[in-house]
Structure 1
Amino acid sequence: MAATPEELMVGLARACARAGLGAPEGLQRLTGGATMESWRFACGGDDFVLRRAPSLEFMEDRPYGHDVEAAVIRAAKAAEVTAPEVMVELEPEDGISSGFVMRALPGTPSPKEILQFDEADALLKDAARDLARIHSIKSGDVPDAVPVMDYRQAIADLKQQFMDAGGDRPIIALGLKWMEDNCPDPVEPVLIHGDYRMGNLLAEPGKLTGVLDWELAHFGDRHEDLAFGCMAVWRFARYDRPALGLGSLEDYFAAYEAEAGVTVDRERFRYWLIHRTVWWALGCLKMAQHWRSGQDRMLERVVISRRTSEQELDLLMLLEEDAPEDAREQVLECRKSQERISGEASAADIATAVSEWLATIKDKMEGHDRFQLAVARNALSIIARSETSMHEYHASADFAEQILSGEVSLDDTGLLWDLRSSTIEKVREDSPKYPAIQAALKKWPLPQSGSES
């Protein structure tokens, strides 16, 4: 069972006392966070943030605990990365799960705000600088528990996740097969942040002020970190700026190379762009599993699971570069679905009605409750669009297995067109405002059908 704010305050007071801090006050849940919770509070006139897992059970399948994550953050700060100062780790007797307390940093984590700053070029250079400094941290500077990635084992683990989730998404199967066929040789590993992207960076106009969320840190290929932040999903509304939503890849690479003293390998960058797109697609799917299991019953989990189609769209645009030219240019006749007719209120009508009522109480909500209300309205919109959709998405474990075995590939007539068409409609259903939709429609010669509203 989740801890109440009152219980959090009691446990937090114990932790703060160990760090020589005063009694905490003004505890407030922060929005965002796909896995961990963040709570802001004050102590002796200074602001701090509690980062914690929703439950101890939630930490059971993770490679290491918050004590190791805290040690990594301390090493990063020592390397002059704009990382937060860790004050104290939670202990079992605190009774509020696992986590640690950090000194709050200035700036906003909001990608919407950051990507509207005028000094995007300066912020891009700061981001490249900090990433290079992270990659300079040696294995002896962090606990032995920080793992070293085995590329092939990582693919095998993702493949198992795919099977555990039903193994029925053809585009993810294409990605896994491509990764097996194109996995690069290992290089000398460096410390990888693992989640270096908009949403985990704090900034003020023209200045990076913080690097957050270190729970995925490991040793591996520096191109993995470079690529992850450049995925389309993390560019948010600035799809036109491929480097973190801030600028060009050329400028990002140049700034990184100047700080790190190495040359960025474009082929390795592309591999990791595809690898991490598959990784996040499966991460989205796993959110539904977390919710169903009872580990975390937050509404946000089930909504994030419906973002899998965004990654399938991005993945297909990346993979089709290897398809034959005639397959990329092929246009087939659009399938027509039978129109649905119903006299009584449909599930879509009911979902819309509830969403409209929730809008009337929006101004009565504050903090995380207001955020959750927005998530709830988004969930209801997904239900409404799913109910009225006249398109079918191809989900077939047998078909996916044919792709994984190499029996079917993008060389096959009609496959690329079919996947393009069905994926566009699936993303329109799940995330109609996703910027990559317009980019895909410009790139793909599809007959125009359906609505994005």
Structure 2
Amino acid sequence: MIDANELLEGLAKTCARAGMEPPRTPQRLTGGATMESWHFRSGDSAFVLRRAPSLEFMEGRPYGHDVEAAVIRAAHAAGVTAPEVVAELVPDDGIGSGFVMRALSGTPNPKEILAMEDADALLREAARDLARIHSVPREAVPEAVPVMDYRQAIADLRAQFEEAGGDRPIIALGLKWMEDNCPDPCEPVLNHGDYRMGNLLAEPGKLTGVLDWELAHFGDRHEDLAFGCMAVWRFARYDRPALGLGSLEDYFAAYEAEAGVSVDRDRFRYWLVHRTVWWALGCLKCAKVWRDGSDRMLERVVISRRTSEQELDLLMLLEEDAPEEEREASCYLEETQDNPGEAMNGELAQAVLEWLETIKPLMKGHDRFQHAVARNALKMIRRDEVYWTNPLDWEKSKAILAGEITLNVPLELMELRQNAIEKCAADSPKYPALTLAKKRWILQEDE
């Protein structure tokens, strides 16, 4: 992990090359599932450095930060509220791979944005920006920006699933559904690839920035439209299915008015399922990059346990195709009994949790964020003994992928629901979709 002094030394070279004054007051920003972000000042202006945690972390990616910076510049030129890229890192800077952007106003905090007044205006601006991204011509960006092959994308996800053990039936169900329902290719447009709350900056009634362009590619516009509407990116706003800001009808209407094309609801649903599977496997992959040493940040192992959130969401999407009698069946949620003997793993975790709370006042900046992540990790260990479930089943996953087990099999949906609820209760008990799933699926005592 790089420290502030190392960063300043390398940034000074970057700033000098761009004709900027020496950098000062670098501060690591919290969040960021993949890349690091550092805020600093040069002269009277504020800037943000976006960099990879290691050079090894960039291996296997379709393109590097130089291409990402070029895409951002093209989007900025097309009228998107993208940041202005002012400099790119080079090897001699000694601080890895990345680039510098002029800082933008507004907050990236989804909860703050979703609590703002005039959410309808924000939704219209988000739809406008997305349509403008989709208008960027192929020749405006480097050739290295790939064009998605839908079938190959599914095959790649299936290979990633098998590499991760191939033993999670709900993900297998999603992969099989995608193979059976993959739409025909359409005219590709530039996709942001990660257009959602968390990557948008906003002020009340105004979108101020679109961040994190590392997944940009050419493909189906409905993929971008659907991704930000996934349950995980709506942060409990189930009453607002479009980005957590409003209705799908208003979102689609605003997009259609700017883009001059119609939104296909069936393609939208396909990509909603596809990207839910994609993110479930992305969460699993975080454990892999931690294990292989390319990124040993604590967040990686914790994010890997968010796979269960996506399995819950995925099952709620896919159960629409199950027989009515299977959808109406209820399941149960059971807790394990306390052990009166020696301290169990969960109790050991609780003891460390209580100690961590005593040193919380000593933490600041990114360390305070890491402190919160560490507490979340220990809480997962503690809850594993309360809601113990084993969602891993290689044989069943294999049978699902072969089409031998479907949601038409009696009680199959109920068993998957049971596992999804128990696993998510252990991993992410405050995940908003869990409350919704319990209301839908669990047999209530008065029933």
- Residue in 2 that maps onto 1:447: 443
- Of the three residues 321, 340, 343, the one matched with 2:341 is 343
Paired residue type of 2:181 = N
- Residue in 1 that maps onto 2:382: 384
Asked if the contact 2:333/2:422 (under 8 Å) is kept, the reply is: no
Q: State the shift of 1:383 in Å.
A: 0.7
- Residue in 2 that maps onto 1:211: 210
Paired residue type of 2:254 = A
Indicate how the Cα distance of structure 1 residues 117 and 408 shifts in structure 2: closer, same or farther if over 3 A, else same: same
- Residue in 1 that maps onto 2:263: 264
Indicate how the Cα distance of structure 1 residues 11 and 103 shifts in structure 2: closer, same or farther if over 3 A, else same: same
Q: Distance in 1 between matches of 2:221 and 2:249?
A: 17
Indicate how the Cα distance of structure 1 residues 335 and 112 shifts in structure 2: closer, same or farther if over 3 A, else same: closer
- Residue in 1 that maps onto 2:365: 367
- Residue in 2 that maps onto 1:414: 411
Question: 1:217-236 to 2 correspondence within 5 Å?
Answer: 217-236=216-235
Unpaired runs of 5+ residues, structure 2, are none
Q: Distance in 2 between matches of 1:28 and 1:331?
A: 50
Q: State the shift of 1:340 in Å.
A: 5.1
Indicate how the Cα distance of structure 1 residues 96 and 335 shifts in structure 2: closer, same or farther if over 3 A, else same: closer
Paired residue type of 1:447 = L
Unpaired runs of 5+ residues, structure 1, are none
After TM superposition, the structure 1 stretch with the greater mean CA deviation from structure 2, 342-351 or 283-292, is 342-351
Indicate how the Cα distance of structure 1 residues 127 and 335 shifts in structure 2: closer, same or farther if over 3 A, else same: closer
Q: Distance in 1 between matches of 2:439 and 2:183?
A: 31
Q: Deviations over 1:418-438 (max 9, x none)?
A: 101111111111000011112
Asked if the contact 1:148/1:220 (under 8 Å) is kept, the reply is: yes
Asked if the contact 1:393/1:423 (under 8 Å) is kept, the reply is: no
Question: 1:35-184 to 2 correspondence within 5 Å?
Answer: 35-184=34-183
- Residue in 2 that maps onto 1:299: 298
Q: Distance in 2 between matches of 1:56 and 1:258?
A: 42
Q: TM-score, normalised on structure 1?
A: 0.96
- Say yes or no: does 1:401 pair with 2:398: yes
Paired residue type of 1:96 = I
Q: TM-score, normalised on structure 2?
A: 0.97
Asked if the contact 2:167/2:394 (under 8 Å) is kept, the reply is: yes
Q: State the shift of 1:337 in Å.
A: 7.4
Q: Distance in 2 between matches of 1:392 and 1:114?
A: 35
Paired residue type of 2:34 = T
Equivalent residue of 1:214, what SS? coil
Equivalent residue of 1:180, what SS? helix
Paired residue type of 2:360 = K
Equivalent residue of 1:289, what SS? helix
Q: Kindly, what percent of the aligned residue pairs are identical?
A: 72
Q: Distance in 2 between matches of 1:164 and 1:339?
A: 35
After TM superposition, the structure 1 stretch with the greater mean CA deviation from structure 2, 170-179 or 339-348, is 339-348
Q: State the shift of 1:326 in Å.
A: 1.3
Q: Deviations over 1:234-293 (max 9, x none)?
A: 001323211111111111111101100111000000000000000000000000001010
Q: Distance in 1 between matches of 2:41 and 2:408?
A: 59
Q: Distance in 2 between matches of 1:279 and 1:157?
A: 10
